[in-house]
Amino acid sequence: MIDPTKLKVCALSNQASPDTSFREEVAESLQRAPWLFVSILTHLCAVLIFLLMPTTKTLKQSVQVAMVAPEEDVVFEEFTPPEEIPTDEDIECDFDLTTKAIHEVESNQDSLLDTPSEVVATLTSTAWSKPLGLGGGGGGLSGGGLRKRGKTPHKTEITIARGLSWLAAHQDEDGKWDADSFMKHDTNGTPCDGAGNPVHDVGVTGLALLAFLGDGNTLRQGQYRDNVKQAVWWLRSQQQDNGLFGTSATNDFIYDHAIAALAMVEAFGLSNSKIIKKNAQAGIHYLEAHRNPYGVWRYQPRSSDADSSITGWAVMAYKSAREFGIDVNQQALNHTLTWFDQATDTSGRCGYSEKGGLSSRLAGNHATRFPPSKGEAMTAVSLMSRFMIGQDPDEEPRMVAAADLVLARPPIWDEKTGTIDHYYWYYATYALYQIGGRHWRQWSKALTPAVVKSQRTDGSFDGSWDPAGVWGEDGGRVYSTATLVLTLEAYYRISRVFVR
């Protein structure tokens, strides 16, 4: 809620971020110097007026917070775009602010669990980049997750809040999420299990950062502003001179980089921070340098091979970067359409590395434990990517066919039959929300038993999800929790591209 007094305060933090150079801080301060003088002059005038007032009178200020209640309880599949939210034009300094998020107006509630609210996207349903809200607004893929308080908290919102709380409690002091040793933070009770592969710290940190950004937390504002800030600085410290986040020591390092690059782009765009723009741009530049110059992406740089999975992450990073004013190669996005057309058969199924093929699995019994036929992960990736690039399902029949295939494989949490695939559910939820209608209604209803009801509620596990899915052993509990929080944020993190 916005305070009716519209009193804006911009206070600089006394603690500089560890990787921010003195020159960067001075440059940022000089750019905002006029606002500093205006602020000083305003405060001097206020002091003079106060001193001239009669001493027998007491200055009283009545602050009222308007509580907007929805006409009915929030449902997962139906949302109304908000009216335009005034931009806080007085905030000109970078991320070291003490201003509060719109949903953090002073109240008696201490957390989202006690705060009934209606969640709405910050973008209109017909445009991607309309800057709204504090500190940069809702371009890109993270819509900002603005909340309007309502009558009752929706169960999905409560689930998201608990997931973010668990993630915040398991972040290291340096800002990263430790894929295999996060349980060191469980000092009371039974420590969590579910360790992932330590080589994926960059990737899981990117996913966790995206989860916080998707709920409206930025470098400037939000309940988890400090968590966002620390994660950004850690990722920044992991970036190489060529723009790569992390190292190329593993075969699948490009996944970690693409996710981290997307997270850095979103952090830059939603916070409007000039200091990290160069990091976001460098991350996109590395993706472009890695891409096959005549095609799309594969594990190794400039490979003549291609796969739909990593291409999907790159498409999202490019799309968000373009909306936030970061340079991207439009021709690369055109190549992705060519690839997805080549990889899609007449039924609408998109293959991983060949036309109409199934999703990939690791060597050994991985495919037996998690049969690829139980899901349509690559079909969901291609469908979402087509939306990102701007294809309309009313004009592209393969999109509707793909949506039908995905809907026929709804989310089911069943460890015995190997149907759990957090990665698939993430892409499918975003894709079917975009297409809307019966596809979204039926899919969203299946998410409640599969995702909401499977969240842990006990001890140190409270708010997390077991890494029981296809890629859980690689990403671990941090991966599963961050990915499913992002999945549940789909209906307000990104607005619909097309009104159908």
Share of the chain above pLDDT 70, in %: 69
Structure confidence at residue 351 as a pLDDT band (50, 70, 90): very high
Q: What is the mean pLDDT of residues 248-271?
A: 97
Q: What pLDDT, in 10s, does the model give residues 116-145?
A: 333 333 222 222 222 222 222 334 565 444
Q: What pLDDT, in 10s, does the model give residues 464-473?
A: 999 999 999 9
The encoded tokens of residue 443 equal: 């899919």
The answer to whether the beta carbons of residues 322 and 141 sit under 8 Å apart is no
- Residue 451: pLDDT over 50: yes
Cα 63 to Cα 60: distance, rounded to the nearest angstrom: 10
The whole model's pTM is what? Answer: 0.75
Query: Mean pLDDT score of the chain, rounded to an integer?
Result: 78
> What is the CB neighbour count within 10 angstroms for residue 73?
13
Predicted confidence at residue 492, as pLDDT, reads: 85
Cα 6 to Cα 219: distance, rounded to the nearest angstrom: 21
DSSP state, residue 359: P
Structure confidence at residue 343 as a pLDDT band (50, 70, 90): very high
- 155-169 vs 201-214: helix axis angle to the nearest 10? 140
Structure confidence at residue 493 as a pLDDT band (50, 70, 90): confident
Structure confidence at residue 491 as a pLDDT band (50, 70, 90): confident
Q: Which of 50-54, 364-368, 491-495 has the lowest mean pLDDT?
A: 50-54
Q: Look at the block and give the residue holding tokens 């992406």.
A: 297
The encoded tokens of residue 352 equal: 């991983």
Q: Which of 493 and 165 is assigned the larger pLDDT?
A: 165
Long-range pairs for 350-353 at CB < 8 Å and ≥24 separation?
A: 350/308, 350/378, 350/379, 350/381, 350/382, 350/383, 350/402, 351/308, 351/378, 352/307, 352/308, 352/309, 352/378, 353/305, 353/306, 353/307, 353/308
Compute, in degrees rounded to 10, the torsion defined by CA atoms 287, 293, 297, 299: -80
Q: Which of 128-132, 185-189, 272-276, 486-490 has the lowest mean pLDDT?
A: 128-132
Q: What are the residue ranges of helices labelled H in 53-104?
A: none
Q: What pLDDT, in 10s, does the model give residues 413-438?
A: 999 999 999 999 999 999 999 999 99
Measured CA distances, 234 to 133, 185, 238 (Å): 26, 18, 6
Q: Which domains does the chain have, with CATH numbers?
A: 1-500 (1.50.10.20)
Which amino acid is it at 150?
G
Cα 229 to Cα 175: distance, rounded to the nearest angstrom: 8
Predicted confidence at residue 341, as pLDDT, reads: 97
Q: Which of 122 and 33 is assigned the larger pLDDT?
A: 33
Which candidate, 419, 427, 340, places its Cα nearest to that of 373?
Answer: 419
Q: Which of 79-88, 143-152, 378-387 has the lowest mean pLDDT?
A: 79-88
DSSP state, residue 262: H
- Residue 210: pLDDT over 70: yes
Rg of the chain over Cα atoms, rounded to whole angstroms, equals: 23
Q: Which of 23 and 202 is assigned the larger pLDDT?
A: 202
Cα 294 to Cα 305: distance, rounded to the nearest angstrom: 10
Share of the chain above pLDDT 90, in %: 66
- Residue 372: pLDDT over 70: yes
Q: Which of 380 and 155 is assigned the larger pLDDT?
A: 380
In this structure, is the dihedral angle defined by the CA atoms of residues 389, 392, 395 and 396, taken in order, positive or negative?
A: positive
Structure confidence at residue 496 as a pLDDT band (50, 70, 90): confident
Q: What pLDDT, in 10s, does the model give residues 145-190?
A: 444 434 455 889 999 999 999 999 999 999 999 999 999 999 999 9
Q: What pLDDT, in 10s, does the model give residues 217-228?
A: 999 999 999 999
Q: Look at the block and give the residue holding tokens 């000083």.
A: 40
Predicted confidence at residue 244, as pLDDT, reads: 98
Structure confidence at residue 41 as a pLDDT band (50, 70, 90): low
Which candidate, 214, 188, 161, 176, places its Cα nearest to that of 18?
Answer: 176
The answer to whether the beta carbons of residues 495 and 144 sit under 8 Å apart is no
Which candidate, 255, 261, 260, 354, places its Cα nearest to that of 309?
Answer: 255
Structure confidence at residue 114 as a pLDDT band (50, 70, 90): very low
Structure confidence at residue 381 as a pLDDT band (50, 70, 90): very high
The answer to whether the beta carbons of residues 209 and 218 sit under 8 Å apart is no
DSSP state, residue 67: -
The encoded tokens of residue 86 equal: 């005034």
Cα 358 to Cα 377: distance, rounded to the nearest angstrom: 8
Cα 281 to Cα 265: distance, rounded to the nearest angstrom: 8
Which candidate, 109, 106, 108, places its Cα nearest to that of 61?
Answer: 106
Which candidate, 207, 156, 166, 172, places its Cα nearest to that of 461?
Answer: 166
